[in-house]
Amino acid sequence: MQTISNQVSRPTPAYLSATWAALAIGVCGYLLGLWNADIMLNEKGYYFAIFILALFSSVTLQKTVRDKQEGLPATKVFVGMCWAAFFSSIALLGIGLFNAEMALSEKGFYVMAFILSLFSIVTVQKNVRDLGNKVEISSGINQVTNTPIEANEVLAD
């Protein structure tokens, strides 16, 4: 019986750079817009807290969905809490912006920076996980193990 080790869906350095850049642009754009917004400090805190909740819940949700896909245990209660937190953050942003006394262009800016940040943080988390996973093919059965890849191997590709 022969065992061959390969990387699972190893992203290219260009793709890794693009996802990190998108995350930086989305987060910096949202936070810069919030910093310069002509709203009260408590409103800034509200939008900041929603943003942090959305980023954390989207990463956690992506991880639990992928864990279930790979056969790792995840309780229904935890998965449900992840979905609830994710949709709550989106609903709270929508409700806050709907009721905010801002120009429509400013509301659109927050929505776009929010969506870009959510998409890119999920993609960055997926890339980090893919870089840390290794596939072992043995007797036709694929098993994913969490074996860290040396930094030199990642940079060599």
pLDDT digits (tens, 9 = 90+) for 95-143: 999 999 999 999 999 999 999 999 999 999 989 888 887 544 344 455 5
**HSE-up (13 A, CA, CB side) for residue 5:** 6
Sheet holding 141-145, edge to edge: 3-7, 134-138, 141-145
| CA pair distance 4, 69, nearest whole angstrom | 22
Name the residue with higher pLDDT: 88 or 6: 88
Q: Which pLDDT belongs to residue 22?
A: 96
Give per-residue burial for 25-63: e unless 16+ CB within 10 Å, then b: ebbebbbeebeebeeeeeeeebbeebbebbbebbbbbbb
- The whole-number average pLDDT for the span 14-38 is 95
Residue type, 128: V
pLDDT tens, 33-59?
999 999 999 999 999 999 999 999 999
Nearest to 10 by CA among 138, 155, 114: 155
Confidence of residue 4 (pLDDT cuts 50, 70, 90): very low
Helix (H) or strand (E) holding 41: helix 41-69
